[in-house]
A and B are shown apart, each in its own frame.
Chain A
Amino acid sequence: MSQKVLIADDAAFMRMMIKDILLSNGYEIAGEANNGLKAVELYKKEKPDIVMMDITMPEMDGITAVKEIRKLDPSAKVVMCSALGQQSMVMEAIQSGAKDFIVKPFQPDRVIEALKKVLG
């Protein structure tokens, strides 16, 4: 059975890019959110297997969203995907419960590598 991914990024273009990579590698899209708040709502509704989460988003940023999602579901699997690749950001994301961190711009392989690693 295909694994379902929730994509959270405020850029439609980036969501499109990630969707293409996922679909051509056999994953299913659980949904798309354009801000952290919607990501949390969609997580509740769709219960995806994993979330690809941007950091810089309006309404609620990605790191806060990870924290909220983990409150709902302590076993939630989230992979951060952001242009902000500073050590402190990565640390904060991981401490908030993210399982991996991909820095933009990324190669498609990196995304698949991260998903395989986290989902097993």
Chain B
Amino acid sequence: MLEKALVGSKKYWAWITFLGVLAAIGVFNYLHQFSYGLGLTGMHRDVTWGLYIGQFTFLVGVAASAVMLVIPYYLHDYKTFGKIVILGEFLAISAVIMCMLFILSDMGQPMRVLNIFLHPSPTAMVFWDTVVLNGYLFLNLLVGWVTLGSDRKGIAPPKWIKPFIYLSIPWAISIHTVTAFLYAGIPGRHFWLSAIMAARFLASAFAGGPALLIILALIVRKVSKFDAGKEAIQAVGKIVAYAMFANVFFLGLEFFTAFYSGIPGHAQSFVYLYTGLDGHSELVSLMWTSTIFAAVSLVMLWIPAIRKNEGTLVLACIMLFASLWIDKGFGLIIGGFVPNPFEEVHAYWPTQPETLITIGIWAIGFLVLTLLYKIAITVREETAGIELEH
């Protein structure tokens, strides 16, 4: 089926070239970072994780969100998702690949990455995160490829694939739970030391991932004959609305505990993020942008008339995605490091090479996504009209 990605229109190749150039710029900057060291980034001894780890955390959520399509379709036999589910699975694959690239980019000694397997440490959450992420990549590759291969031949997928599909459901939950555990078990980082972290992660993932999927499905419909279906997109829209409500509610719970308890350590990071602390207010406008986008998109998704109009639905999804990206891909990580263990504020802002590397990895992710979607779309276009039987 891979050959399907090699045939396309001029627009297709222009898009591929565009992503390729961004990826090349990223790789070039990474080579510089590789030889100079991570000092090329904006990170320092007090904010030791930045944009890279933020993107990793955010994208694990995007990857996990495929389960929001897999559960209705495979577990509840919700046939409406028959066409969109493959878009979700392939999005998960590209998201996991981006996660791995961001982790590698963040390593001081990337050549030693296999030490994680040479000296496995079950007490380390990174070890488990590596295991579950690789497993999830494998599961989605297998399930996506086998089901699409069967579609191509116009037959039902083989029975042996079912256990893998069912396994991918708890597995998706596990990747984001373990990712939350990277943060939620660290003493002395009050901002992260919250029992609700994993639940919050899942809620934001199940809002942000499907929101991106709606945007992608509408783009796919524009550029090809593949239509995920109006009803399917509406159903995903409802999922986004409920998940976003849960996410905003969970964030509210964090605020309550931090400020009602009055324990300074618990409140300081929130104060830094939303109003500024000790004269530092680098993230304040970003965090309020996130807050306003969250509120507006939630209201838009809540009102049926707005949600049912695809034009306004996609606008709400873009705002929601941007809101969660700021909150989880940036604020959550930086907030954990500010103030530092000495209660001093040392700000962080990504450098230009760091930003270009980040854009480069997103470009690689979208390149993978484009190729996978191209294959899926072409297969589906060829078999259009044939009733899918899963």
Partners in one complex: no
Question: Residues of B with Cβ closer than 8 Å to A?
Answer: none
Question: Residues of A with Cβ closer than 8 Å to B?
Answer: none
